Amino acid sequence: MRMDAQCFAGYNDSIDSLTVYFTSTSSGSYNYIAYDYGDGNWSQNVEDPIYTYSSPGIYEVCQWVEDTISFTCFDYSCDTLYIGDATCNADYYWFPDGLDVEFYLWSLGTYDSLVWDFGDGSISNDTAPIHSYSSAGTYTVCLSLYDSTELCDSTCYQITVDSNSCEADFSYTINNLDITLSNLSSGGFNAVEWDFGDGFGFSTQFNPSYSYFLAGTYEVCLYVYDSLNFTCYDEYCVELTVTTGGGGGGGCDADFDYEAVELDLEVTNTSGGTFLTEFWDYGDGSGISFDTEHTYDEPGLYDVCLTIGNLIPFCLDEYCQEVQIVQYTCETDFTFSFNESNVYSFTNTTQGTYDAVLWEFGDGNSSTFANPSYTYNVPGTYEACLTTYVDGNPCGVTCKEMDVYPAGLNKVSAEDFRTYPNPSDGSFTIELPIEFLNKNVRVEFSGISGRLVHQEMASSNNGIINLDLNLPSGMYLLKVSSQGRELVRPVMIR
């Protein structure tokens, strides 16, 4: 994975029993180098290390290099090493669709047969089976690998299935280098992820637009999934051909979020792609600004615009939103409660004088009742808002986020591997089973498409790891590994 072309990771290796002699072939302007030996141990700032493993096994060894002064380059390279008499390593991943689950091998090594145990009394010898469960529930699915009838490795995961299914689909329009995508997916999904096929364009918007830097044919893929229990998943890919002839913002896509508190506006740049320059126009005649906070002189509807750009590779893009700036005279607030059927009861606790209310439940539905009750049909994270009015004008507004789980559930749990909070803003606490106690472990986060987006080494002091990540909102697969054992769990960042 290359973040910048100014440095390149790579190494050669020579294996003698349990000892490996590494020779770096890295190049470029890096000042830091590290090796992750795949068994929970690592070294840093040694170009050509010699490492001895404590036991035979199959290990993925990664080297990474970076410039820690100017942060202008980062690259890593990984390879799988067979140490000692290790012959195979069992692993797999899966995609659910209602009660049907597709299983795929992620195993390493030499083996001539395999057995899947689906946890409901059924087994299979297929390399990529599709299994249909008769009822919803949580099942322990085990994969065993054999070499000449001898068991060489096995692994088990718990998976959850229910009747929830989803189907990915989208339409598109092309204008020279620019594409506009319309999500036509159906089913019980609550998260999306787009891959624009050019190596660096990704989005979690529902209906994104994108500009390519070069003409060509690109495979655009849409992934939809249930981000709470991962009970449904689907993907849909289409090859699109874009041409030059005007337009085309290159590899950047301007976008921003904002928070308005009466006359004060704070903006957050959420643009995608590579860019060096950004500036704002707050629409009130104050001119160009490089600040992300702005105070208006009076309430009104303002057209706020963000412009981003880059020279090499070239990109230029602008994104504008209409922002309503108000001054409030009411202290609007509310409380809510819910039952196991996901019926939410809202109570207005606003202080001040008002004559009308508007409740917005975060899923497109609303109510003007004083203290409404509302049932959410699809699990997910919703922002419920209450706006109070005087003579048709807003006098106060407040919003609160709520995590709605499947009916009858109020949390997601695992017996020996927990992450909380989940969903989170990127700050996680990981609780590990006793065999990981006080050990160095490798922590990896991958997108739902399998693309590795973050990895680091961590020490599990007393079985606890605290992480504070800066990753885009979306569904990720968290993998924690040490000394040949791996734990995998879906997590959500919002």
Number of H helices, E strands in the chain: 0, 50
Phi/psi at 314 (nearest 5 deg)? Answer: -70, 135
**Closest Cα partner for 488 from 157, 105, 234?**
157
By three-state DSSP, how is residue 453 classified? strand
62-100 in b/e burial notation, b at 16+ Cβ within 10 A?
bbbbbbeeeeebbbbbbeebbbeebbbbbebebbbbbbe
- Using the Cα atoms of residue 337, residue 343, residue 349 and residue 350 in order, give the sign of their dihedral: positive
Residues near 16 by beta carbon (within 8 Å), at least 6 away in sequence: none
Rounded to a whole number of angstroms, the CA Rg of the chain reads 26
Residues 301 and 279: their CA atoms lie apart, in Å, by 20
Residues 248 and 315: their CA atoms lie apart, in Å, by 8
Do residues 488 and 477 lie in contact, with contact meaning Cβ atoms separated by under 8 Å?
yes
What is this structure's pTM? 0.38
Q: What is the pLDDT along the chain (494 residues), one digit of tens a residue?
A: 333 347 889 999 999 999 999 999 999 888 889 999 988 899 999 999 999 999 888 888 999 888 766 556 778 899 989 888 778 888 888 888 888 899 999 888 888 999 999 999 999 999 999 999 999 899 999 999 998 888 988 999 989 888 878 899 999 999 888 899 999 999 888 899 999 987 667 899 999 998 886 778 999 999 998 887 788 888 999 999 987 643 344 567 889 999 998 899 999 999 888 777 788 999 999 988 889 999 999 888 999 999 887 655 567 788 999 999 888 888 899 999 887 677 889 999 998 889 999 999 999 999 999 999 999 877 667 889 999 998 888 888 899 987 665 554 333 334 567 888 888 888 989 988 888 888 889 999 887 666 788 999 998 888 899 999 988 887 787 888 888 787 877 788 88
Do residues 193 and 181 lie in contact, with contact meaning Cβ atoms separated by under 8 Å?
no
- Which region holds residue 437: left if phi is over 0, alpha if psi is between -120 and 50, else beta? beta
List the domains of the chain with CATH numbers: 7-83 (2.60.40.10), 88-161 (2.60.40.10), 166-242 (2.60.40.10), 252-325 (2.60.40.10), 334-404 (2.60.40.10), 418-493 (2.60.40.1930)
